[in-house]
Amino acid sequence: MDLKKRIEEIRKGESPEHIAIIPDGNGRWATQRGYERTRGHRKGSQAAEKLIEFVSNQLPIKYLTFYTFSTENWSRPDHEVKFLMILLRKFLKDKGIKLTQNNVRLRIIGDLQDLPKKTVAIVRETIDKTMDNDGLQLVMALNYGGRREILRAAKQITTKIVKGKIGLQNLTEDLFRSNLFAPDIPDPDLLIRTSGERRLSNFMLWQLAYTELWFTDTLWPSFSSKDLLDALRDYQSRDRRFGHVEERKNKQ
């Protein structure tokens, strides 16, 4: 089946509103080919660009989240971290106009204050430029960690309780959620992780409670629209019950 027909088939089924991606394997892609790891990151950025354009133009998906830079990524060699920051700035500077043309809105989750000033500036500029776009919402997790997000929310709620703004009896899941980075964004319906790893790596730990997980051995720089359609086809074959049990009628 050619790509156009596969897209049509996917569009006929129930599509996820929100897809989250852990784009893993840039370094391995490069080393397997005898390149520097930075070349893998550059190739991975190109793969992300193609996928964003494909999703925004071809699929009825509202939110697409990338685990772009985690709190743990600071432990990588300084030159690699510096390259990743430069690559992010270049991506947003070069593709910011394209995001607007494709009606894509940029959103961010994570602690921006720890990032280089130049990076923060271009991120905020792109957020402002795309603010009014009502198509695909592209969410980048920058300097993000799931545990840090939960701890941050707990501190904010505790402060409100201590100051008497809310009572302990008011603490609910909805209240807790309202203190996360982007409480208006729905939980991911589907999480995709590339490179064969099968773990969450501190990503959206609160939000992934009932998310469908899909893992592939494909390294991120080689991930294509066809791989995404494979993930969507698998997603559409699943029965999402969110902890409920369907009653079975006894056969006579």
* Residues taking part in catalysis: 24, 73
Rounded Cα gap, residues 152 and 158, in angstroms: 10
Degrees, nearest 5: CA angle 5-11-14: 140
CA-wise closest residue to 111 among 75, 145, 143: 143
CA-wise closest residue to 126 among 141, 110, 138: 138
Position 174: which residue type? D
CA-wise closest residue to 180 among 211, 210, 212, 141: 141
Give backbone dihedrals phi and psi of 64, rounded to 5 degrees, phi first.
Answer: -135, 115
Position 159: which residue type? T
Q: Is 246 helix (H, G, I), strand (E, B) or coil?
A: coil
Dihedral angle sign, alpha carbons of residues 124, 187, 8, 217:
positive
Rounded Cα gap, residues 106 and 124, in angstroms: 9
Dihedral angle sign, alpha carbons of residues 208, 213, 214, 218:
positive
Tokens of 94: 């070069």
